[in-house]
Chain A
């Protein structure tokens, strides 16, 4: 699979949009191109988070695995999507299963490679974490709004989970 100019492609990825040409070059040296056939697994829920993927072509499915053998598709993502980005700053295990839907190509940025950039004083790496933080914060607010609406519109169902919800809203007080 032909990988297009990394600069051109990465510049279109929102997480990297703030990087200048030198910072994109620096990042390009650290990523590894990857190709997958249809139905290949990128990682499973619970796996060690060792880096993030950027999809260049094709599609991947993101699945929650609530029970043994069961899976629920959460999203289908295509070109430009970034997957597992939290692994760059957080050592938590993978929170979902990701598999390709079709032939797919992209790039892998390992946490080790990212740490080399970051702790080597790369401003580009700092900009990536800042952009990641903004994305997460926005996602957090949208997700919290959704939860609030769910709780507010179905108080009886929420009562069944009241202990967990009170604990969660208690933690969020400081947000």
Chain B
């Protein structure tokens, strides 16, 4: 099954930490989704159901709220192995951004309940994903705090 995944997918974090068993376990646990150009992968306001990993194609991410005041511009991504919405592995929440396929694309979705079940069953791939996600969340919290501090401490 993992042969349908390009080798580049496994060369970037967090997937580069997976061994062959972990790769197969991840692919077996994830849901494959094919989307057509122009189709939404997820929309702002929708409840996040899990993390997404790009297998092939191009997706565009946009933040309408920050875009409206010039603080964010839509960005496109085409790197296999790029993970989106990692935080939804930990908590249910509503997406703040849109994700739309710019070309026909294939993604793998790992639902939160499946992730948690695999984690508590002791699957190594889930533990690696947890480390990656927690570490990323920590860095983002620090960056957000620094930005707030910067905004409040200087005119």
A contacts, CB < 8 Å to B: 64, 66, 86, 89-90, 92, 95, 121, 123, 126-127, 129-130, 132-134, 136-141, 143-144, 146-148, 150-152, 154-155, 157-158, 160-162, 164-166, 168-175
Residues of A within 8 A of B65 (CB): 148, 152
User: What residue in chain A is nearest B84 (Cβ atoms)?
Assistant: A174
Contact A66 B149 (CB under 8 A): yes
The CA of A133 and the CA of B132, in the complex, are separated in Å by 10
Residues of B within 8 A of A144 (CB): 96, 144
Of the candidates B140, B151, B155, which one forms a contact with A171 in the assembled complex, judged by CB atoms under 8 Å apart?
B140
Contact A134 B90 (CB under 8 A): yes
Q: Which of A136, A138, A148, A165 is the most central at the interface, judged by chain B CB atoms within 10 Å of its CB?
A: A136
Decide yes or no: A130 and B61 within 8 Å by CB, A140-B140, A165-B71 being known contacts.
no
Residues of A within 8 A of B152 (CB): 150
User: What residue in chain B is nearest A157 (Cβ atoms)?
Assistant: B151
Of the candidates A66, A121, A137, A150, which one forms a contact with B148 in the assembled complex, judged by CB atoms under 8 Å apart?
A150
Q: List 29 A-B contacts (CB under 8 A).
A: A86-B138, A89-B135, A90-B134, A90-B138, A92-B139, A95-B142, A123-B120, A126-B120, A129-B134, A133-B90, A140-B87, A143-B148, A144-B144, A151-B69, A152-B65, A155-B69, A157-B155, A161-B150, A164-B147, A164-B150, A166-B71, A169-B63, A170-B72, A170-B73, A170-B75, A171-B143, A173-B62, A173-B72, A174-B82
Q: A132-B134, A133-B137, A138-B91 are in contact. List 19 more A-B contacts (CB 8 A).
A: A90-B134, A90-B135, A123-B120, A134-B90, A136-B137, A136-B141, A137-B87, A137-B93, A147-B148, A150-B148, A151-B151, A154-B151, A166-B73, A170-B73, A170-B75, A171-B140, A171-B143, A172-B140, A173-B62
Contact B138 A136 (CB under 8 A): yes
User: What residue in chain B is nearest A139 (Cβ atoms)?
Assistant: B141
User: What residue in chain B is nearest A66 (Cβ atoms)?
Assistant: B153
The CA of A151 and the CA of B63, in the complex, are separated in Å by 14
Contact A166 B93 (CB under 8 A): no
Residues of A within 8 A of B86 (CB): 174-175
The CA of A162 and the CA of B150, in the complex, are separated in Å by 11
For the residues of A in contact with B, the DSSP-based class is helix
Contact B85 A161 (CB under 8 A): no
Contact A123 B122 (CB under 8 A): yes
Contact A89 B134 (CB under 8 A): yes
Q: Render B67-83 as a binary contact track against A, CB cut-off 8 A, 1 for contact.
A: 00111110101000011
Contact B131 A89 (CB under 8 A): yes
User: What residue in chain A is nearest B142 (Cβ atoms)?
Assistant: A95
The CA of A174 and the CA of B122, in the complex, are separated in Å by 27
Q: How distant is B96 from chain A, measured CB to nearest CB, in Å?
A: 8
The CA of A134 and the CA of B86, in the complex, are separated in Å by 12
Residues of B within 8 A of A132 (CB): 134
Of the candidates A137, A152, A160, which one forms a contact with B91 in the assembled complex, judged by CB atoms under 8 Å apart?
A137
Q: Which 8 A-B pairs have the closest CB atoms?
A: A136-B137, A133-B134, A173-B61, A169-B72, A143-B144, A133-B90, A137-B90, A86-B138
